[in-house]
Amino acid sequence: MELAGLLHELTAGLLAADTFTQALERLAAFTAGAVPGAVRCSIVLIGEGGPLTHVGHGPAGAAVDEIQYTAGTTGPGLEAARTRSMITLADLVTDARWPDLAEAARTEDVHAVAALPLDLPRAEVGALSLYFDTTETPGADQLVTAMALAGQAELLLDELRRRDALSSGAAVDRAIGVIIAQRGCGVQEAYAVLRDTAQRLGLDRRAVADRLIAVAARNA
């Protein structure tokens, strides 16, 4: 019953998020509080050909994340994402597989880790990692809770990605209509204008489309 309640609360929180990034942040905060003994939950997503997406929540372990995800060093989270398997260990400080993380883990008093793979079929693979301040491999109760939350999160995040894609497509279509109306051009030229503008501003097409739509609404 307790686990069912957690899954219900997680579902409601993620589906009510305004953005995908906010959903990830909520997932990290919720999981850190739901798994007994966890001092931090860290989430990383790896898109094809793109940069890592990373969020974390908790009072300790941020430096471990920084080294692992920003500096490109390997670690339990990246290993779980790469192998699509759960990684558990008793002490990150002494584990010979990731010596580059040892000093940061010692400084922040982070020891045991459980890293679970996340698979979002529409776009990304990744991992949900839990850090503990004890030197004992996470137990069955902790792992069952983490696995249930990660499995539910996969379904929810994939649905949010689907919604984002639909919303992005609709915004781009509306922006193309605005460009055609303003310039009197054809569809292909309008798409080229949107693409070139996005490249020049260093933004994605959705962001430029939203701006064009907002300006057109103000001037209507």
Both 82 and 126 in one domain: the answer is yes
* Residue 24, number of CB atoms within 10 A of its CB: 25
Q: Domain residues for 47? A: 2-163
Both 101 and 209 in one domain: the answer is no
pLDDT reading at 160 higher than 90: no
Residue 182's pLDDT band (boundaries 50, 70, 90)? confident
Return all residues near 158 (Cβ < 8 A) that are at least 6 apart: 120, 121, 122
Give the Cα-Cα-Cα angle 55, 59, 62 (nearest 5 degrees): 45
Closest C-alpha to 112, from 138, 86, 87:
138
Record the pTM.
0.76
Both 158 and 88 in one domain: the answer is yes
CA distance between the termini of the chain: 54
Residue 40's pLDDT band (boundaries 50, 70, 90)? very high
Q: Look at 19-23, 165-169, 185-189 and tell me which has the smallest mean pLDDT.
A: 165-169
165's tokens = 């894609």
Both 144 and 196 in one domain: the answer is no
Supply the CATH number for residue 24's domain. 3.30.450.40
Residue 24: beta bridge partners? none
Closest C-alpha to 42, from 24, 55, 23:
55
pLDDT of residue 107: 96
Q: Which helix (H) or strand (E) holds 64?
A: helix 62-65
Q: Mapping DSSP to helix (H, G, I), strand (E, B) and coil, where does residue 60 land? A: coil
Residue whose entry in the numeric block shows the structure tokens 């880790």: 113
Q: What is the dihedral of CA 138, 63, 22, 51, to 10 degrees?
A: -110
Both 159 and 176 in one domain: the answer is no
Report which of residues 46 and 109 the model is more confident about: 109
Supply the CATH number for residue 182's domain. 1.10.10
* Boundary residue ending a domain (121, 144, 163): 163
* Residue 41, number of CB atoms within 10 A of its CB: 25
Both 87 and 115 in one domain: the answer is yes
Both 183 and 114 in one domain: the answer is no
Both 152 and 176 in one domain: the answer is no
Alpha carbons 214 and 18: distance in angstroms, whole number: 18
Residue 46's pLDDT band (boundaries 50, 70, 90)? confident
Both 132 and 32 in one domain: the answer is yes
Summarize the confidence of residues 159-186 as an average pLDDT.
Answer: 78
- Please classify residue 185 by burial: count the beta carbons closer than 10 Å to its beta carbon, then call 0-12 exposed, 13-18 middle and 19+ buried: middle
Sign of CA dihedral 152, 92, 48, 199: positive
